[in-house]
Amino acid sequence: MMILETRTAVYAMIVALVASTIAFSINFALLRPAFRSFRKLSAASRKIAQGEFDETLEINGPFETKAMAEDFNEMARRLDSMFKQIREGEQDRKDLIANLSHDIKTPMASIRSFSEALLDDLVTDEADKRQYIRTIHRETIRLNHLVDELMQVTEIDRQEHPLKITRIWLDSLIVHVLQTFDAQLKREHRDVRVRVRADIASFYGDFNIICRILYNLIENALKFSDPGTDVEIEVQSDLDTIRFHVKDYGMGIPQEEQDKIFARLYRIEKSRNIKHGGSGLGLHIARSLAELLGGTLTVVSKPGDGSTFTLSVPDRQHG
């Protein structure tokens, strides 16, 4: 009886061992793809941790592991996109600082050299003294303009431009903007021809923001056209939209550059920067402010035939 029980126990152990072996073999066969998947996941995670966000998982297996791989890949794509934006933003800020630093050096050098010449009595002729003082004044205005543009960009980036909607009378708006250019227009023998439809007397919007946009557009028109040529401003209305067209008869813009000119720090014909100056921020600021108003800023241009910039903004009379 004892021998039978022992034999039975041995048989039972053998059967259990065989069953365990079979079960392990089946489980190993089933789980091996999962183990491979986890190894791939571990390797990909290490690369992600090292900043290699373009890493993707390619896993063939059960639904759960495929879903896991898809979620991982989506996470990697979002991380890649986010860090690209951060890097681009950092580079953009570095470029902004570098360009503005370069732009500031020229007027600062002029102010210093001319003021030192005056202080050291190196200039005795009264006409020359007045010319030196005019140069210092002009370069000071240029510096203030650069600082103003930088502050505008900072406010836009921080979204610190709460709208102040008021009724805007077109005649007051245009006079307010043009009086800034009065001295330059006289000096360069130019006229600004203004055409406003008789039925458009006023509209509702942010006076200061629209002034800033028009200022930038007129400044740009004067900068890239020759003395003696006119600038045209036409105001139209279409339902609840007010359109300002600012046209110059200057150098024009090649088709391939027309989308780029609104980018921050972009400058047309970089070799002509010495002649035209500027930070390359004016049109970027103008379009950003137009979008802040819920409007648009576009350009139609042909090289040698001038440019027409069109600012379209909603009439906010009803909110």
pLDDT digits (tens, 9 = 90+) for 28-53: 444 455 556 556 666 666 666 666 66
Distance (Å, whole) CA 25 – CA 125:
104
pLDDT of residue 245: 97
For residue 62, what pLDDT is reported?
59
Topology adopted by domain 1-160 = Helix Hairpins (1.10.287)
The pLDDT of residue 273: 44
Q: Where in the chain is the domain with CATH 1.10.287.130?
A: 1-160
Superfamily of domain 165-318: Histidine kinase-like ATPase, C-terminal domain (3.30.565.10)
Q: Which pair of tokens denotes residue 101?
A: 């630093």
Per residue in 272-318, pLDDT (tens digit) is: 344 455 556 788 889 989 998 999 999 999 888 899 999 999 998 75
Distances (CA, A) of 214 to 108, 217, 229, 291, 298: 28, 5, 18, 14, 13
pLDDT of residue 24: 44
Give the per-residue pLDDT at 4: 43
Residue extent(s) of CATH 3.30.565.10 domains in the chain = 165-318
pLDDT at site 195: 94
Strand partners, 141: none
pLDDT digit string (tens) for the chain, length 319 residues: 444 444 554 445 545 444 544 444 444 444 455 556 556 666 666 666 666 666 666 656 655 556 666 766 776 677 677 667 666 666 666 666 666 666 677 677 777 887 888 888 888 888 888 888 888 777 777 777 777 777 777 677 666 667 889 999 999 999 999 998 888 899 899 999 999 988 889 999 999 899 989 999 999 999 999 999 999 999 999 889 999 999 999 989 998 888 888 887 665 544 334 445 555 678 888 998 999 899 999 999 988 889 999 999 999 875 5
At 49 the pLDDT is 62
| pTM of the entire predicted model | 0.62
